[in-house]
Structure 1
Amino acid sequence: MSLKRETLREQWHLLLLAISFFSRIPVELKVDVTENMLNQASRYFAVVGVLIGACSALAFYLSASILPIELALLIAMFSSVLLTGAFHEDGWADVWDGFGGGWTVENKLNIMKDSRLGTYGAAALFFILMIKYQALLALIQQNITHTALLNESMLSESLSMLSILVLGHGLSRVLATSLITDMPYVSEDATSKVKPLAQSLSSNSYLILLSTGGLVIAFTLSFSIAWKLVAILLLTRWCLKRWFTKQLGGYTGDCLGAAQQLSEVVIYLVLLSLT
């Protein structure tokens, strides 16, 4: 019984560590963080995504009760950016600045660690946020039509948005984190402003990560849509892996952030095209 309690306590600490790294949600860690803990905490990255998605959906529900749907969606998106500190959006912009402006791996890494935002990064950030907004808005409008036809309540519509946002935030972090398993980490110097939380993923951690993604899919999608989404996400992962390998020979923390942003948008576009 004592061993079981100790194991649960360790897992709780790993979850808190994952939340503290990938969000601005205040948590209290009463243990010394080790490199091994950092690697093991990667198993809960998708759980953090589910939490962010749920909070974003709550912001949408509260806002939509008093504001137009378009503004409620912007508030929901803004709440997710606040909760994460724009961590993944920063990675997306840095990747485009580095890959677009650098000629060698060293040049690209130097540009990516620069805190200033360049033209490539600004343009990429604008378009990814606009595509995300338009895709979510179209999904909301589909849900509104469905709700009106079935005489369902606003709560039913918000529950649909909960499923969409939990799926998008949770599953995109599964894809991004999975890149750690079969890609080398590209070392950056000590002045780099962004480093990945984990540089390795154990078999148990990978299984927990994939299981979380599987549960999210099982609770939000029908099988006819789920297998198509998974197939497209596997293709997206393959493309991202080839892109990062060609540009850097591996991945950095910025690459994982970029992978999360792109795969989140892919999820919304796939849902839009299949529903």
Structure 2
Amino acid sequence: MKQQINLFFHALFFYSRIPAGKINYSEENLTKAFRYFPLIGIIVGAIGGGIFLLFRWIFPVPVALVISVAVMVIVTGALHEDGLSDFFDGFGGGRDKERILAIMKESTIGAYGVIALILLFVSKLTLLLSINPSHIITVLIASHASSRMMPIFLINSSHYARTGESKAMHTRRRTDKVTFVIALIFGLLPLVFISWKIILVVIPVYAMIVMVLKKYTERKIGGFTGDVLGALQQFSELAFYLVCAALYPIS
């Protein structure tokens, strides 16, 4: 039990800004902590849903959604959004593998990254505003949990592209079976509260996103990086909102 708590705190520490206390850190533990990655998504989505519910009593729905999205970004430290911006900067501005990897590792943000973030948040808010408010809480929880399974699928089906030191070195190893099964349970559990029609659509959409991104990144840089994983999570979360906007419309 202590080991599982330690692994959960690894996930909490690395994938959020929620205080995790003291952890017995190791790269191996961080790899195993992927089993709780979708659980972090459940927590983030629940926080966002709670904020939306609270502020909806005070403000109109659009204002409550803006505050909710902002709080979720703060809770995660914009980890995945940062990956998305680096992804677009690297693949948009780099002509070969070495240059792409170098750009993604830079601390500055370029035009591609800025434009990507603007379009990301405009798209998120537009889609969330198109969803019936009565479903927002379950949508946020399910989207954040299930979308975090997609990077795990990519880790287990592709290769880590970098050779030097990086913050995502723990993704070089594929997850063990126990880690994968636990993560899958947490990723799928919130879907129980989602319409079966959405599930039937979103699963093949997720699969298509993973396959297309895998093929593209392997062709360009020979695999994935931490930034690619962050971008994949954001693409998947956005796709979930898109499906829900079509099947959970306001009217």
Q: 1:11 to 1:97 in 2, by over 3 A?
A: same
1:119 is aligned to 2:94: no
Number of aligned positions between the proteins: 247
Considering only aligned residues, what root-mean-square deviation do their CA atoms show, in Å?
Answer: 1.4
Of residues 7, 26, 29, the one that matches 2:19 is 26
Match of 1:243 in 2: 216
1:10 is aligned to 2:3: yes
Match of 2:182 in 1: 208
Query: How far apart, CA to CA, are the structure 2 residues paired with 1:43 and 1:74?
Result: 30
Q: 1:26 to 1:95 in 2, by over 3 A?
A: same
SS in 2 for 1:198: helix
Partner deviation per Cα, 1:203-230 (whole Å, 9 max, x = no partner): 1111111122221212x22323312211
SS in 1 for 2:108: coil
Match of 1:264 in 2: 237
Q: 1:211 to 1:30 in 2, by over 3 A?
A: closer
Q: 1:256: Cα distance to partner? A: 0.5
Q: 1:30: Cα distance to partner? A: 4.3
Structure 1 residues 220-229 or 74-83, which shifts more?
A: 220-229
Query: How far apart, CA to CA, are the structure 1 residues paired with 2:151 and 2:124?
Result: 17
SS in 1 for 2:159: coil
Q: 1:196 to 1:83 in 2, by over 3 A?
A: farther
SS in 2 for 1:18: helix
One-letter code aligned to 2:188:
G
Partner deviation per Cα, 1:49-88 (whole Å, 9 max, x = no partner): 1100000111111111111211111100000110011110
Match of 1:147 in 2: none
Q: 1:196 to 1:257 in 2, by over 3 A?
A: farther
Match of 2:142 in 1: 167
The two structures have a TM-score, normalised by structure 1, of 0.86
What runs of 5+ residues in structure 1 fail to find an aligned partner? Answer: 1-7, 144-156
Q: 1:177: Cα distance to partner? A: 2.2
Cα pair 1:42 1:205 within 8 Å, conserved: yes
Match of 2:158 in 1: 183
One-letter code aligned to 2:58:
I
One-letter code aligned to 2:130:
A
Q: 1:245 to 1:34 in 2, by over 3 A?
A: same
Partner deviation per Cα, 1:100-145 (whole Å, 9 max, x = no partner): 1111100001100111111111111110111011000111xx34xx
Of residues 94, 108, 125, the one that matches 1:133 is 125
What runs of 5+ residues in structure 2 fail to find an aligned partner? Answer: none
Name the % identity.
Answer: 34
Q: 1:201: Cα distance to partner? A: 0.8
Alignment of 1:30-179 (within 5 A): 30-31=23-24, 33-139=25-131, 142-143=132-133, 157=134, 160-179=135-154
Q: 1:272: Cα distance to partner? A: 1.3
Partner deviation per Cα, 1:27-67 (whole Å, 9 max, x = no partner): 11242x12221111011100001100000111111111111
Q: 1:188: Cα distance to partner? A: 4.8
Instruction: Please say which structure displays the higher CA radius of gyration.
Output: 1
The two structures have a TM-score, normalised by structure 2, of 0.94
SS in 2 for 1:44: helix
